[in-house]
């Protein structure tokens, strides 16, 4: 359940990156065999599509007219992607609870990271604060997902 909580917290900062990192690990066979990932996540289309969406989010975040992460659509995206990532990082029998925990954590983290970003943005600007947030999010997602027990890679 710890990974579910952590991936939810990371999803508050970027909605797509944590799930993209999780899907990449799933596709490489690096998540527990009994994970609760929906089968759709273990497809090439999901992997490429989520990676493209993560890149799009990173680029779009630097646009000054980009909507805040705390708008309803932004919160919904975080809840959904955090839930799917938590399912993939958790044993199948804990999937429901892990998804709920990650969803709640992503909402709370959305507001905390938004407040922090707004405070930094006034001093350091849109692009530089976004790049720092991108790097922190990618590193955190990689650490959370990488803490899963390693499984043999697929043939």
Q: Are 152 and 29 in contact (CB under 8 A)?
A: yes
Question: Could you tell me what percent of the chain has a pLDDT over 70?
Answer: 94
Q: Are 78 and 102 in contact (CB under 8 A)?
A: no
Torsion of CA 32, 38, 43, 46, to 10 degrees: -110
pLDDT (0 to 100) of residue 155 = 37
Question: Nearest to residue 86, comparing CAs of 78, 74, 77, 95?
Answer: 95
Question: 25-34, 49-58, 85-94: which range is least confident on average?
Answer: 25-34
The rounded Cα 138 to chain-centroid distance in angstroms is 9
End-to-end CA distance of the chain: 29
Residue 153 has pLDDT above 70, yes or no: no
- Give the mean model confidence (pLDDT) for residues 137-154: 76
Residue 4 has pLDDT above 70, yes or no: yes
Q: HSE of 44 in the Cβ direction (CA atoms, 13 Å)?
A: 0
CA pair distance 114, 11, nearest whole angstrom:
12
Q: How confident is the model at residue 65 (pLDDT cuts 50, 70, 90)?
A: confident
Helix or strand holding residue 51 (H, E): helix 44-60
Only one residue has tokens 């839930």, namely: 83
């Amino acid at each position: 359940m710890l990974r579910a909580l952590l991936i939810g917290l990371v999803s508050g900062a970027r909605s797509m990156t944590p799930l993209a990192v999780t899907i990449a690990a799933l596709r490489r066979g690096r998540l527990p065999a009994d994970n609760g990932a929906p089968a759709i996540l273990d497809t090439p289309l999901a992997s490429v599509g989520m990676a493209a969406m993560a890149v799009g989010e990173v680029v779009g975040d630097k646009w000054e007219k980009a909507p805040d992460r705390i708008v309803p659509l932004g919160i919904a995206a975080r809840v959904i992607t955090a839930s799917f990532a938590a399912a993939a990082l958790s044993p199948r029998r804990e999937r429901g609870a892990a998804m709920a925990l990650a969803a709640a954590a992503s909402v709370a983290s959305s507001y905390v990271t938004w407040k922090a970003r707004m405070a930094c943005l006034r001093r350091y600007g849109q692009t530089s604060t976004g790049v720092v947030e991108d790097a922190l999010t990618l590193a955190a997602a990689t650490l959370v997902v990488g803490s899963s027990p390693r499984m043999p890679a697929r043939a």
